[in-house]
């Protein structure tokens, strides 16, 4: 983690003039590549399968859709906050449901 922080600081402080020559298209390509590598595709696949199962649970799929729409219509930071709030609410609901059944 420290090497990552040091590398980022090096880019920002020392190499900023050189980074200005990198095209926005190249930076966008890197960002999209990192996005596809960091998304948990298996988790999204499970959410869709759960929504399509015999005993459907639509909340994870709704969370995914609402978060995606929030990221698209506002900005990424707001979308992430919306997603975290929804996931926390979902976790509390499951905990409450499990507690009330005992």
Token pair of 88 as six digits: 């926390």
Residue spans of the chain under pLDDT 50: none
- State residue 100's pLDDT score: 67
Pairwise CA distance, residues 46 & 4, whole Å: 32
- State residue 1's pLDDT score: 64
Task: Find tokens 């990424």 and name the residue.
Answer: 76
- State residue 101's pLDDT score: 61
Token pair of 62 as six digits: 């709704």
pTM for the structure as a whole? 0.56
- State residue 69's pLDDT score: 93
Token pair of 78 as six digits: 């707001």
Task: Find tokens 């990198």 and name the residue.
Answer: 22
Backbone angles phi and psi of 55, in degrees to 5: -115, 80
Q: CA–CA distance from 60 to each of 13, 44, 65, 75, 101 (Å)?
A: 41, 9, 9, 21, 21
- Residue 47, judged by CB atoms within 10 A of its CB (0-12, 13-18, 19+), counts as buried
- State residue 10's pLDDT score: 81
Pairwise CA distance, residues 56 & 18, whole Å: 52
- State residue 56's pLDDT score: 78
- State residue 3's pLDDT score: 83
């Amino acid at each position: 983690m420290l090497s990552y922080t040091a590398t980022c600081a090096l880019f920002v402080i020392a190499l900023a003039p050189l980074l200005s020559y990198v095209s926005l298209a190249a930076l966008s390509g890197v960002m999209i590549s990192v996005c596809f590598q960091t998304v948990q595709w298996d988790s999204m696949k499970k959410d869709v399968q759960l929504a399509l199962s015999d005993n459907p649970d639509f909340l994870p799929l709704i969370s995914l859709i609402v978060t995606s729409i929030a990221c698209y219509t506002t900005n990424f930071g707001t979308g992430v906050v919306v997603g975290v709030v929804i996931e926390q609410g979902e976790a509390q609901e499951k905990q409450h449901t499990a507690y009330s059944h005992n």
